[in-house]
Amino acid sequence: MEGLIANNVWMMICTGLVFFMHLGFAFLEIGLTRQKNTVNILFKNIFIITVGLLLYCVVGFNLMYPGAFNGYFGFSGFGLSSPLVDGSLDLSYNPGYTYWTDFLFQGMFAATAATIVSGAVAERIKLNSFFIFVILYVGLVYPIAGSWKWGGGFLDEMGFYDFAGSTLVHSVGGWAALVAIWLLGSRIGKFKDGKIGVLPGHSMPFATAGVLILWLGWFGFNGGSVLSADPELTSLTLVTTCLAAAAGGASAFLFSSTLYKNYDITMFLNGILGGLVGITAGADQMNPTDAILIGLVAGIIIVMGVALIDKLRLDDPVGAVAVHLICGIWGTLAVGIFGNLAGFDQFITQLIGVACYGGFCVASSFIIIYGLKVTTGIRVSDKEEIEGLDIHEHGMEAYDFELAEQ
């Protein structure tokens, strides 16, 4: 019983840390975008966590963990129904934590996938259209995809490995972000006369705070994915997570400064996030050296990925595609290259998993977003975009400078 209590307390702490990551995402997104859209971005982030949890309660949890199913799709009913023994909560539900803790921990992950998309489509998407996308993607697409591995589906049976979600969370959000920015188009002024314009964010302190909060939250994201308070495995996981983050930031900083002859804080910050995403698939399987190598490669991927997205004339204000999709793919494949599972067969299995999730997420996100584009529309007017979404969508501004001067 004491072991169960310790495990459950650790899982609840990790749940709180993953919840805290949503503040990190909010700070990062508003920091890397313009002041006139701050309230709009904050509104989207609050919508995602509130509605995402409700959706996960009503349908998502039982889609993702349906029990016995055919390996591709299953549903065990609406709402939550805890396992009971003699009228009391079944404490043997899991050796690490209770049913209620399980739901809440997994629910925090579900909302993260949509938050990734929020940053990529910032400053020009219609709020109502984004709401509909979140409802469908978090309510249906994410849990169905998650069931294929974490719910005991066909990819789990195949041996595909994703410890904490490089693919199941980050690339699921990243694929949707890629489709969204393609269908949505770039912000006014981003690409002009064949040149790549710079639309700088309004607060690097907010962006930096956001990344540090996310790094802290990853202690729960990866540490909680051990699914117990096992001292050896949780400690190793936190060490590999931190080393990959540090290596990712360092390599992105060094590579970008060599390439562009300046010290770009945004590359440094996204390099840290790239290292975190890259280690997430195999954080429990790596030794410290493996983690550093994975992070070093992820940092270089960030710099090259951001340049590639710009070259393709796709507009991603926060670098979400490079961080969450490209580094998510890298981290997933790295499981077959480094660590305890390294081997050719495992690499091919990881590649198959990446392809399955890519195909499903691209198809489903295209259907949702293109459907919205040809019906309700997905982009605000030029006037609204130029003057800012805060005034037009919300009737307010994020900062009252006149009041501050009084």
pLDDT by 10-residue block (mean), the chain, 406 residues: 77 96 97 96 97 96 88 91 63 72 93 92 96 96 96 96 97 97 95 87 97 98 93 96 98 96 96 98 97 98 96 95 98 97 97 98 98 96 95 92 53
Residue 154: predicted pLDDT: 96
| Pairwise CA distance, residues 305 & 167, whole Å | 17
How many CA atoms, within 13 angstroms, populate the side-chain half-sphere of residue 305?
Answer: 27
Q: How many CB atoms lie within 10 A of CB 89?
A: 12
Q: Give the domain extent around 192.
A: 2-405
Query: What token pair was written down for 384?
Result: 């609204």
Q: How many domains does one find in the chain? A: 1
CB 47 within 8 A of CB 114: no
Closest to 333 in 3D by CA, of 270, 281, 271, 272:
281
Task: Provide the CATH number for the domain around residue 248.
Answer: 1.10.3430.10
The neighbour count for residue 18, using CB atoms within 10 Å, is 25
Q: Minimal CA–CA distance to 168: which of 258, 70, 282?
A: 282
pLDDT of residue 44: 97
Partners of residue 202 on adjacent β-strands: none
Query: In angstroms, how far is CA 4 from the centroid of its own chain?
Result: 29
pLDDT at 87: 56
Q: What is the DSSP string of 223-240?
A: HGGG-S--HHHHHHHHHH
SS3 195: strand
Q: Token pair for residue 9?
A: 């307390």
What number of CA atoms fall less than 13 Å from residue 75's CA on the CB side? Answer: 11
**258 CB-near residues (< 8 Å, 6+ apart):** none
Q: Any idea what the Cα angle at residue 128 is, between residues 126 and 129, rounded to 5°?
A: 65
- Tokens for 374, please give them: 């040809």
Q: What are the C-alpha distances in Å from 57 to residues 52, 84, 88, 140, 342?
A: 9, 18, 21, 12, 37
Which token pair is 23?
A: 């503040």
pLDDT of residue 406: 47
At residue 188, the pLDDT reads: 94
pTM over 0.85: yes
Residues 242, 292: contact at Cβ < 8 Å? no
Say what the pLDDT of residue 192 is. 85
Residues 6 or more apart in contact with residue 238 via CB below 8 angstroms: 219, 222, 223
